[in-house]
Amino acid sequence: MKYYIIAGEASGDLHGSNLISEIIKVDSEAKIRGWGGDKMEKAGANIVKHYSDLAFMGFYEVIINLKIILNNIKFCKEDILKFNPDKIIFIDYPGFNLRIAKWAKLKKNNFKTYYYIAPQIWAWNEKRIHEIKKNIDHLYVILPFEKEFFENKHNYKVNYLGHPLLDSIGDLKKDVKENFIKKNNLDNSKPIIAILPGSRKQEIKKILSVMIEVVDDFKDYQFIIAAAPNISSEFFNKTIKNKNVKIISNKTYQILSISKAAIVTSGTATLETAILKVPQVVCYKTSFFSYFLAKIFVNIKFISLVNLIMNEEIVKELVQSNCCKENISKELKNILDNNKRKNLMLKYDELISKLGTAGSSKRVANDIILNK
């Protein structure tokens, strides 16, 4: 069969790559084309648009890049028609993907649509449920509370087959710590604090300068930026300047697996850090306009997936003006305290048990192939 997959972010590229690998195992004749990144391409997809050209974050940022977004939508529709897939698979990225889904289900097109990693309408824009019901044939959720939300509140049947991060992290072939340290010229005598500033240049510009301000307060530690593969070292160096911080690209899990603590921007990275059992401080900064609108329209108690799933603040969230050097430094000292770490580890265990078991990507791939 022919599959067209659309992922617009680094996390979508990761989950898309695992899904593609599993599809190819079952459907050896599979032809896969789509939008994503290096991981999806390596797994076997023909990538026509890279996510690094697509990531616009925040209300204001979307508005000023509207022309680019509209051109991307036009190109996507044309490319799908040329490829004529048996199935279109949308991965997260709802602002774009729901537009394409609506077009895909027009009578003249009537493509089969599968949505993997459901739009987070429980957080904001809940009225999108009407679009989803009308335009998505099969919806796959990855958070335990989402199944209840869609089925009980909106009477819409969904598939919950576990969280794909358990596959990605479960497959991690950890470098022996000494080998990784030697290979990357790290200091074996100093424990590591990881910095995860995100995968979008726009969010990195906002958050990284604040994150690295704390470096001088922790001279007995070494700081490593876990850089997304689509962001160059030169880009980071403009912000880091003379700070004693190492940049290592495309090795986030390996870095986290040997880290004592982490400073993490909100998003999927908070959950990755928790699954790898690394204490973390969550940071979030955006433009004043985007934050102002979010306060009005976004209906969630927490910004990190860890706290949302647990429905309590188990990791500290520092948002907007609270995200400053003094607060990050204070919270970092807290999570480096051994007694506080023990309590956090127990909460992390509880979180991981809520996510189900590994094998999610395989289960979703099989379901997509079998469901018509």
Which has the higher per-residue pLDDT, 32 or 296?
32
**Same-fold call for 2-163+358-370 versus 170-354:** yes
Tell me, what's the pLDDT at 95?
86
Q: For residue range 98-125, what is the model confidence (pLDDT) as tens digits? A: 999 999 999 899 999 999 999 989 888 8
Tell me, what's the pLDDT at 11?
85
Rounded Cα distance between 19 and 5, Å, is 10
* Domain 2-163+358-370 fold: Rossmann fold (3.40.50)
Rounded Cα distance between 344 and 279, Å, is 7
Angle at 114 between CA 108 and CA 115, to 5 degrees: 120
Which has the higher per-residue pLDDT, 214 or 228?
214
Tell me the average pLDDT across 352-370: 93
CA distances to 151, 211, 356 from 206, rounded to whole Å, are: 38, 10, 34
Which has the higher per-residue pLDDT, 176 or 274?
274
CATH code for the part of the protein at 170-354: 3.40.50.2000
Residue 94, both tokens: 């709802």
- Which of the four pLDDT bands, split at 50, 70 and 90, describes residue 348? very high
Q: Which sequence spans correspond to the domains of the chain?
A: 2-163+358-370, 170-354
Q: What average pLDDT does the chain have?
A: 89
Q: DSSP letter at 175?
A: P
Which spans in the chain are helix H? Answer: 10-26, 38-43, 59-64, 66-83, 94-104, 129-135, 144-148, 154, 165-170, 177-183, 201-211, 233-240, 252-257, 268-275, 288-297, 305-310, 325-335, 338-354, 360-370
Q: Which of 67, 135, 132 is nearest to 103 (CA)?
A: 135
Rg (CA), the chain: 21
Q: List all residues 6 or more positions away from 78 whose beta carbon is below 8 Å from its beta carbon.
A: none
